[in-house]
A and B are shown apart, each in its own frame.
Chain A
Amino acid sequence: MTETTQHKGRVLPVTDLSLVVLVGASGSGKSTFARRHFKPTEVISSDFCRGLVSDDENDQSASRDAFDVLHYIAGKRLAAGRRTVVDATSVQQDARRQLIELARQHDVLPIAIVLDVPEEVCAERNAARTDRADMPRRVIQRHIRELRRSLRHLEREGFRKVHVLRGVEDVENATVVTEKRFNDLTHLTGPFDIVGDIHGCAAELETLLGKLGYTDGVHPEGRTAVFVGDLVDRGPDSPGVLRRVMSMVKSGNALCVPGNHENKYGRYLKGRKVQHTHGLAETIEQMAGESEEFAAEVRQFIDGLVSHYVLDGGRLVVCHAGLPEKYHGRTSGRVRSHALYGETTGETDEFGLPVRYPWAEDYRGRAAVVYGHTPVPEATWLNNTICLDTGAVFGGKLTALRWPERELVDVPAERVWYEPARPLRTEAPGGHDGRPLDLGDVHGRRVVETRHSGRVAVREENAAAALEVMSRFAVDPRLLPYLPPTMAPTATSRVEGYLEHPAEAFAQYAADGVARVVCEEKHMGSRAVALVCRDAEAARKRFGVDGPTGSLYTRTGRPFFDDESVTEEVLGRVRAAVTEAGLWAELDTDWLLLDAELMPWSLKASGLLRSQYAAVGAASGAVFPGALGALEGAAARGVDVAGLLDRQRERAADAAAFTQAYRRYCWTTDGLDGVRLAPFQILAVQGRSLAALPHDEQLALLDRLVEHDGTGLLQTTRRLHVDTGDPESVRAGVDWWLEMTGRGGEGMVVKPVGALVRSPEGRLVQPGIKCRGREYLRIIYGPEYTRPDHLTRLRTRFLGHKRSLAIREYALGLEALDRLAEGEPLWRVHEAVFGVLALESEPVDPRL
């Protein structure tokens, strides 16, 4: 019941996440009280909101709109998990009802603090304020009358705490202390062993605890067991299970959340009428042999259980039936109900049992949710949630999850203790089979948090374009864990006749503090990413696909070959090389993700070649003989066309050079004959991103792969190490490039040997700078770009946006790999991958 207020210096506990409603007449000192005890941003006053909507804090006609605004702001704060104090008179029940409703909507505790101050004091204070001096006395009288009438009902109205301060002194001397919520155990970091539904299987529990390393309920390394509930019913020894768990909880070696079975048994123990079904009868019977004292302890234990816990700095949530993110750490009847029973769709299945709503499919939270309740044959992660109920009592197994190790430990049931009403589901609720990602993961303007470069924004129009390509043309998102970032070219060269020259690339890295770089031959084909699994089973287990053994896709995620069997053939050849090179064991993986170039260029780009490059060659080839002939004819007649004739001859030569340039990257293929794949980076393997593995080590691994390829598919990447601080070494690098591009090579990519490198100021350094050959650039800038007047104009190109884009895409790519390596849910990996695709549609000079 409401506490009385006689003591001086009352202490008022207020929960850290709650809606605090100050109740008091005009002039009772609510605003002063709020200012003294709460942060200014925690307090929303109705006067302030009146001012917002009407320019007059005392305009009562604006009250309705003002309260709309107040409720709106309070709602936003509560949704974000911030305590909110409402400073309005709230003396009328209807006003309070709306606030209680708001608290319930956001699953936080409503708390009332009543300031019961004499009428005289209120009137005096109002009189002292110019803006309220003319407030009629009867208004205050009415407020106080209504307040008095309300006092007795506040708890019944739904306030979970009610503090009444009587008189000025009481108000003056009160202290507010912030209390944590019961479910907030974020300060506990474990490590934990989370145990699934036991249902009276005491023997299996003892075996499992033994396997986990507990002796008599204590772990030598100080680990904490966490029970997800459903300790009792159905099984052979519910009292034994209760005894073990209760003693561990009591001694601080375990935590326990209630299951629906405890809840029902608890109600039975309190004398409520419950049906003795679903195994309750067995528990009652078994407990009949136990002492009164033990039964009382059980009752107290069950009564004190908290519906769910938030642990380990908010990274882990444990509850019985699973919990959507918006309920984490919240306190309300429906949170408790969801934690105990989960959510149902309202339908029933063919066994007459309620159909459960697949909440885990929608789950997008950062905290891992570990739960039980729904028996499944195997505990598997889905969107960062895992169900540990592996049906021990139905003859399945009892499973525990080690946290933060994320290791599963289980023991088989000794027998079938209880026949299930329906067969164990063949997959976890919300299993993997073709279930899609949610549009909310990718649509509209988005910001992706990255480990290496903070927040990367994706604009709405770019996401829209990416959505179209991703939906209509890309490979299955499960087999698309990465997209390669774009790469910036070297700074524009001033060397005569050159637009790009390696000297600039070396200088740029030297300026970034990078001394050791590796120059890698740039293959002129099409970028290809290959996900290669050891076999179809490995692909099924890790990526959840049925059939393919991996994927081979372009830089926008489209399958490289329309024919799946060709893809499989390529993957098979790579797989054989990996096996021969012994890399599966060495890298401790059964899949790997390769970044590569697939040649010839004409294989993928034939449409573009025909419509654009070869077309230009054909038109120029057709036009020049006639034009030169005409000019020569005119010249022979003595017409002065000398300058024009020379220019046309040069243009004809440029056009011929252009045709030569693209022809180098085209050759005829037949099936896979003539196709080459040049891998230049292993991006990730099971459990690890290799993006930070130094390039010399990368290339050493890849060389072994190429060596062990017996089919001629794989091609090595030539390279040269350069020290950017050593002029001799830089000169050698330039010569190497001149020699390579002189023979028709596309150019090279200069990369820091250390792969993932930061500048002295802590910025991410470009992971690579491309330096394209003089002849190759004709394909990009046009046949005549080397003419001095053209070069002068082209040198005004701007690299800033391209560089920024390259770094942002790089950060997203790294993020995708890290998320993949850490086994994060598909939507998290996809979010980053989708971001790369969206950024690729940003407007940037396409020639860079």
Chain B
Amino acid sequence: MFLTITTTGTPERPATDLGFLLHKHPDKAQAFSTSYGTAHVLYPEADDQRCTAALLLEVDAVALVRRGKGKGRGGAPDAALAQYVNDRPYAASSLLAVALSGVFSSGMKGVCRARPELPGQARPLRVEIPAVPARGGPGLVQRLFEPLGWTVTAEAVALDTEFPEWGDSRYVRLLLESETLTLAEALRHLYVLLPVLDDAKHYWVSPDEVDKLLRAGEGWLPGHPEQKLITSRYLSRRWSLTREAMERLELVRLAEADDSEVEDIDNAVEEETEAEEKPAPLAVQRRDAIVEALGAAGAARVLDLGCGQGQLVQTLLKDPRFTEIVGVDVSMRALTIASRRLKLDRMGERQAARVSLLQGSLAYTDKRLKGYDAAVLSEVIEHLDLPRLPALEYAVFGAARPRTVLVTTPNVEYNVRWESLPAGHVRHGDHRFEWTREEFRAWAHTVAERHGYGVEFTPVGPDDPEVGPPTQMAVFQMLTGNEKEAKAA
């Protein structure tokens, strides 16, 4: 990984002053050892008119991997195979930022004992970094640096010129130019913003990172229009790097066995990306509709099948009519988050006795689910491939057989009303299908018929005269013997 800092000058104010500012002599190549390899400082050009300092970090990729090992089994979530073949030796990431602050610490602090007047002066600066990993692309690079007084040239690097159809990589070739900034300011900008752009730090974020950020951001961060993004990216990786990493490793390995990325299969807890005008209402309306229907059915012992992160379980817990609430999900990660949300470990005994969370799968029958008053399948069926839906039907209506079953699913007709949803797109990346009202009703009637239930439909959300409500709900009630006879007659 590599960057150059160039300045220009005149015989009165020679460019080689850069050497004083950086505290590194232009005629020497110097090496400094850092935690992950060796940092070299050298000057490809150095005269009065123009002086360029280059920082070259020779990263030892294997050492990088080995160091990661102490931190829990395997380290970060993307630390399985990816850790051995990665861009760290080449891309300007947080490793470079750390090297920058180590090697040029005086420059960054703006201290120069020999020429104390120099650091305070702005000079023409040109910073070139050939490969900046930038989540957010050239656009974000511009948004981050321009407000600070830089002229930004950022162009995306192609993934592979032999395969133009693969598009651009996440790297940006970056050129920053300014006449108004001091070198210390420039270095502090880079120190904070390189990791922010990379959005993945190589070291564990500890509480003192907050202090470091405040120090390096002094004078420029408070007024920055992207302050929130900068702060959250700089600090936010803490959770994901520590706790959740442990929970995903088995899935990481299964994804790897398939040459695919873990996000492909570990997407159960992704927030709904429904393109709602206001984010909360539909989910809330759905839960309200479910609670009302459960109440109307007189259900006390309730299964939330596909409970996800436990929002509905939490709602049901607040209502004393529900004496036993069981959340079932196939994703262990979702259950862990649900358990955290419900604060199960700190709940009083009486409350805790009302609720339990189980890993289960509706692709299988499950004896534990028998004998409940009601089961809720809220926004679940559309996450199954259609050919596997009969298995779910049987597991719920044939085997578990609760008296009442509530099923909610998106009404695809309504999608035209979501302004931000491109035509023909489903509302969530993992939706395997979305049904029209007609399709949903046909399915529900078949299921009801086959398993001895009656079914009625309720709209959830604004019932548009043309395209119906955003969510459709079916309420199944098991038929009694008499009702069946009546039906047969």
- Chain A interface (Cβ within 8 Å of chain B)? 347-350, 352, 361-362, 433-443, 461-462, 464-473, 476-477, 486, 526, 547-548, 554-556, 558, 601-602, 604-627, 629-634, 637-641, 644, 647-648, 651, 655, 659, 663, 666, 668, 779-784, 790, 793-794, 837, 840-844, 846-847
Contact = CB atoms under 8 A, between A and B. Distances in A.
B359 A467 contact: yes
B79 to A, nearest CB: 10
Interface in B51-96: 52, 54, 56, 58, 61-62, 73-74, 80-82, 84-87, 89-91
A441 B261 CA distance: 28
Contact of A615 (B40, B159, B332): B159
A634 B29 contact: yes
A439 B361 contact: yes
Contacts of A613: 85
Contact of A434 (B27, B82, B361, B390): B390
B173 A610 contact: no
B353 interface: no
Given A630-B4, A843-B249, A846-B81, A616 B90 contact: yes
20 contacts: A435-B390, A472-B384, A476-B387, A555-B258, A608-B261, A614-B163, A614-B166, A614-B169, A615-B170, A623-B91, A626-B130, A634-B42, A634-B54, A640-B29, A644-B29, A782-B62, A790-B62, A842-B253, A843-B253, A844-B253
A774 B395 CA distance: 51
B366 A639 contact: no
Contacts of B428: none
Interface of B: 1-2, 4, 27-29, 40, 42-46, 52, 54, 56, 58, 61-62, 73-74, 80-82, 84-87, 89-91, 128, 130-131, 133, 157-160, 162-163, 165-167, 169-171, 173, 249-251, 253-254, 256-261, 264-265, 268, 330-332, 359-368, 383-384, 387-388, 390-395, 398-399, 452, 481, 484-485, 487-488
A347 B40 contact: no
A644 to B, nearest CB: 6
Contact of A437 (B128, B365, B398): B365
Contacts of B261: 607-608, 611
A666 B163 contact: yes
A171 to B, nearest CB: 47
A633 B44 contact: yes
Given A435-B394, A556-B257, A626-B130, A471 B85 contact: no
B361 A629 contact: no
B80 to A, nearest CB: 5
B198 to A, nearest CB: 11
B5 to A, nearest CB: 11
A453 B355 CA distance: 42
A619 B169 contact: yes
Given A434-B394, A467-B330, A472 B383 contact: yes
A625 B362 CA distance: 55
Contacts, number: 273
A618 B394 contact: no
A614 B159 contact: yes
B484 A468 contact: no
Given A435-B398, A640-B29, A467 B170 contact: no
A779 B82 CA distance: 10
Contact of A601 (B40, B171, B259, B332): B259
Contacts of B87: 615-616, 619-620
Contacts of B365: 361-362, 436-439
B364 A618 contact: no
Contact of A623 (B2, B170, B359): B2
B364 A438 contact: yes
Contacts of B390: 433-435
B171 A622 contact: yes
A618 B157 contact: yes
Contacts of B392: 436
Contact of A608 (B4, B167, B259): B259
Contacts of B484: 348-350
B29 A347 contact: no
B246 to A, nearest CB: 10
Instruction: Give the top 5 A-B pairs by smallest Cβ distance, nearest first.
Output: A434-B390, A633-B44, A465-B250, A350-B488, A841-B250
Contact of A436 (B86, B165, B257, B394): B394
Given A558-B258, A626-B2, A612 B364 contact: no
A640 B481 CA distance: 95
A440 B364 CA distance: 9
B260 A607 contact: yes
B56 A464 contact: no
A622 B92 CA distance: 11
Contacts of B368: 439
Contacts of B384: 472
Contacts of B361: 439, 467-468, 470-471
A833 to B, nearest CB: 13
A144 B238 CA distance: 75
Contact of A846 (B27, B80, B130, B162): B80
A440 B367 contact: yes
A477 B363 CA distance: 9
A608 B130 CA distance: 23
A468 B332 contact: yes
Contacts of A844: 253
A781 B130 CA distance: 25
Contact of A465 (B80, B160, B332): B332
A617 B260 contact: no
A252 to B, nearest CB: 43
Contacts of B394: 434-436
B42 A622 contact: no
Nearest to A607: B261
Given A436-B391, A615-B159, A641-B40, 8 more contacts: A436-B364, A443-B359, A443-B360, A467-B361, A622-B173, A623-B131, A625-B130, A633-B44
A610 B159 contact: yes
A633 B254 contact: no
A847 B84 contact: yes
Contacts of B54: 627, 630-631, 634
A112 to B, nearest CB: 36
A362 B29 CA distance: 76
Given A626-B128, A663-B160, A438 B366 contact: yes
Given A470-B363, A611-B261, A639 B85 contact: no
Given A436-B391, A465-B254, A627-B2, A608 B40 contact: no
A655 B86 CA distance: 11
A442 B364 contact: yes
A442 B250 CA distance: 16
Given A469-B265, A611-B261, A631-B44, A616 B86 contact: yes
A781 B82 CA distance: 10
A308 B289 CA distance: 53
Contacts of A468: 251, 265, 268, 330-332, 361
Contacts of A623: 1-2, 90-91, 130-131
A476 B388 contact: yes
A616 B169 CA distance: 9
Nearest to B450: A433
A348 B330 contact: no
A115 B318 CA distance: 62
Given A608-B260, A637-B43, A639-B27, A439 B485 contact: no
Contacts of A477: 363
Contacts of B487: 350
Interface centre among A348, A441, A794, A846 (most CB of B within 10 A): A846
A93 B81 CA distance: 69
A782 B85 contact: yes
A784 B254 CA distance: 27
A133 B218 CA distance: 90
B51 to A, nearest CB: 11
Given A472-B330, A608-B259, A618-B158, A843 B163 contact: no
Contacts of A440: 366-367
